[in-house]
Chains A and B, each alone.
Chain A
Amino acid sequence: MSGRGARRALLGLAYFLASGVALAFLVLPVLAIFVHVSPGKLIDQLSNPVVTDALIVSLKTTVLAQALILLFGTPTAYLLASRRFPGRSLCVTLVELPLVLPPAVAGIGLLAALGREGMLGSSLDAFGVSLPFTQSAVTVAVAYVASPLYIRQAIASFEATDPHLTAASRTLGAGALRTFFRVVLPLARGGLVAGLALSFARGLGEFGATIMFAGSLQGVTQTLPLAIYAEFDQNFDAALAMSGVLIVISAVLLLTLRIGLSWQRSPSTRSLSLFGTSGSA
């Protein structure tokens, strides 16, 4: 009896210690950045043109990339979620592939495909378009690495919508398009927002593919992560401050996501909530 109690206490202690170590490990680097940069310093750096330029480039390219991801990714995800056709799982795998590619490989791939000497480079050239070193190249790199996060989550959310509701909508006379916008999209909304937030965060942190495909030039292609890397050499304070800015943005994003999700988990939508899907995805 007492042996079992002791064992249970020991197990509890082990759990406690392990989670303590894990938590400290995950929090420490973030904490250290804010120990190094006081809020005052962080605000000061917000008037450093390197920082503001990078912030603007980052936000512009990431927002644009998210718009493209939403526009092309949503129908793709709906198609993959609602239709069964030969080669479907291959398609899903291909869509998810960039997720597991090292960013450097993504950069090389983008250069090989869309670079001036790349596969499609000469055709793009014929239209007077040259991607490398432009802000569009940053957007392309961000969209490439971030889109699988959204599409994956969107597929799961669409799959979790109750097919009876869709069918009811159709039997009540609503067309496919109307059903999609009035029934499917509202039902899947929570999951779509979650996917978008994740892909936004991933896009904001994009580094490897961007530096290879788009280069790094202040005010044009130098995003926050690239600027952090460049400033590491010369102005460690600026690098720290930019890291602080990125942490704040990411934390706000994560918090919004959490709040949005708990709001989504209201009883009326529980059976359809994305938690059932995202948990199993």
Chain B
Amino acid sequence: MKRILVPLVVALAMATTAAAAPRVSGITVYAASSLTDVFPRIDPGPKYSFGASSTLAAQITQGAPADVFASANTTIPDQLFAKGLVQKPVVFTRNRLVLVVPTSNPAGIQSVYDLRKPGTKLVIAATAVPVGSYTLQVLKQMGLTASVLRNVVSRESDVRSVLSKVALGEADAGFVYSTDAKTVPGKVQVIKVPAWAQPKLTYAMAIVASSSNKAAAQRYISEILSKAGQAKMLAAGFLALPKKKTG
């Protein structure tokens, strides 16, 4: 009884206060940090665990009770798929890498090239974390690897830690997703990464092989891929999927 009542009450409360109502409940979704705000907005029903995709993957490998895994890249879900830990991943959104600086911009950074200035305090994510590897790709593409990595003062454990170090004004700059920058309006300035240096930045999700509720997990994935789900992703600043169907 309680099991039915509680979600019902939550659903009612949600229906009156916000537009989103939980549709899928009783599952646990492991999702990349960059999805922290948008996923519960699409469906507040499931239990969420947000973190670096790499950390979540390590937890799933160690037997964490996840039903759905949503990663900020395609490589990690593909690796888990190859090991039989998740079902076939589907691409569900895209994103863009940007440079953020504190609103006060203490280091006077105007472009990615300014990161070469000696003494600049740059924070990036650890290499294993998707956003960290995208960052290295951008720097390599722009021929800045050596000159900019010299100024890295911290390799953070996920994208939101990079963002908070910049938003707090402790770091001079950091690479995050454009969608993350939107979550701290007024705290950071966004500097674009040139389009030609943008890495291919696609997100994929999959049903975890050990899930005991695969039907609900599938319904959740369909919900993210649905028109309404995708509209919320776009509203949060994520990019539309390429025209060519992937699934």
Determine whether the beta carbon of A217 is less than 8 Å from that of B152. Answer: yes
A230 at the interface (CB under 8 A from B): yes
Question: In the complex the two chains form, what is the Cα distance from A133 to B57 in whole Å?
Answer: 28
Question: In the complex the two chains form, what is the Cα distance from A111 to B170 in whole Å?
Answer: 8
Contact with B along A222-234 (1 / 0, CB 8 A): 0000000110111
Known contacts A133-B121, A232-B58, A233-B128; is A211 also within 8 Å of B157 by CB? yes
Determine whether the beta carbon of B58 is less than 8 Å from that of A115. Answer: no
Question: In the complex the two chains form, what is the Cα distance from A138 to B53 in whole Å?
Answer: 27
Determine whether the beta carbon of A230 is less than 8 Å from that of B157. Answer: yes
> What residues on A are CB-neighbors of B155 within 8 Å?
215-218, 230
> What residues on A are CB-neighbors of B55 within 8 Å?
232-233
- The contact of A117 among B54, B121, B126, B168, by CB within 8 Å, is B168
A132 at the interface (CB under 8 A from B): yes
> What residues on B are CB-neighbors of A211 within 8 Å?
157, 161
Shortest distance from the beta carbon of B108 to any chain A beta carbon, whole Å: 15
B36 at the interface (CB under 8 A from A): no
Determine whether the beta carbon of A215 is less than 8 Å from that of B169. Answer: no
A189 at the interface (CB under 8 A from B): no
Shortest distance from the beta carbon of B51 to any chain A beta carbon, whole Å: 10
Known contacts A133-B121, A215-B123; is A234 also within 8 Å of B170 by CB? no
Question: In the complex the two chains form, what is the Cα distance from A16 to B153 in whole Å?
Answer: 53
Question: In the complex the two chains form, what is the Cα distance from A217 to B57 in whole Å?
Answer: 22
Determine whether the beta carbon of B54 is less than 8 Å from that of A215. Answer: no
Shortest distance from the beta carbon of A107 to any chain B beta carbon, whole Å: 11
Determine whether the beta carbon of B128 is less than 8 Å from that of A116. Answer: no
> What residues on B are CB-neighbors of A115 within 8 Å?
168-170
> What residues on B are CB-neighbors of A236 within 8 Å?
58
Number of A residues contacting the other chain (C-beta, 8 Å)? 20
Known contacts A215-B123, A233-B58, A233-B126; is A133 also within 8 Å of B170 by CB? yes
Known contacts A116-B169, A132-B170, A233-B126; is A216 also within 8 Å of B156 by CB? yes
B98 at the interface (CB under 8 A from A): no
Within 8 A of B (CB), among A226-252: 229-230, 232-234, 236
Number of B residues contacting the other chain (C-beta, 8 Å)? 24
> What residues on A are CB-neighbors of B52 within 8 Å?
233
Question: In the complex the two chains form, what is the Cα distance from A216 to B54 in whole Å?
Answer: 17
Determine whether the beta carbon of B169 is less than 8 Å from that of A117. Answer: yes
> What residues on B are CB-neighbors of A139 within 8 Å?
none
> What residues on B are CB-neighbors of A221 within 8 Å?
154
Question: In the complex the two chains form, what is the Cα distance from A271 to B127 in whole Å?
Answer: 57
- The contact of B153 among A217, A230, A234, by CB within 8 Å, is A217
Residue of A nearest to B51 (CB): A233
- The contact of A133 among B127, B128, B153, by CB within 8 Å, is B153
Known contacts A232-B55, A233-B55, A234-B54; is A111 also within 8 Å of B168 by CB? yes
Question: In the complex the two chains form, what is the Cα distance from A51 to B123 in whole Å?
Answer: 22
B165 at the interface (CB under 8 A from A): yes
Within 8 A of A (CB), among B146-162: 152-157, 161
- The contact of A233 among B54, B153, B156, by CB within 8 Å, is B54
Residue of B nearest to A230 (CB): B126
7 A-B pairs, CB-CB below 8 angstroms? A115-B170, A216-B155, A217-B154, A220-B153, A232-B58, A233-B58, A236-B58
B residues near A (Cβ < 8 Å) are 52, 54-55, 57-58, 106, 121, 123, 126-129, 152-157, 161, 165, 168-171
20 additional A-B residue pairs with CB within 8 Å, beyond A133-B170, A218-B155: A111-B170, A116-B169, A116-B170, A117-B169, A117-B170, A132-B170, A211-B157, A214-B154, A215-B165, A216-B155, A216-B157, A217-B153, A220-B153, A229-B157, A230-B126, A232-B55, A233-B52, A233-B128, A233-B129, A234-B127
A residues near B (Cβ < 8 Å) are 111, 115-117, 132-133, 211, 214-218, 220-221, 229-230, 232-234, 236
The 4 A-B pairs at the shortest CB distance, nearest first, are namely A215-B154, A133-B153, A233-B54, A117-B169
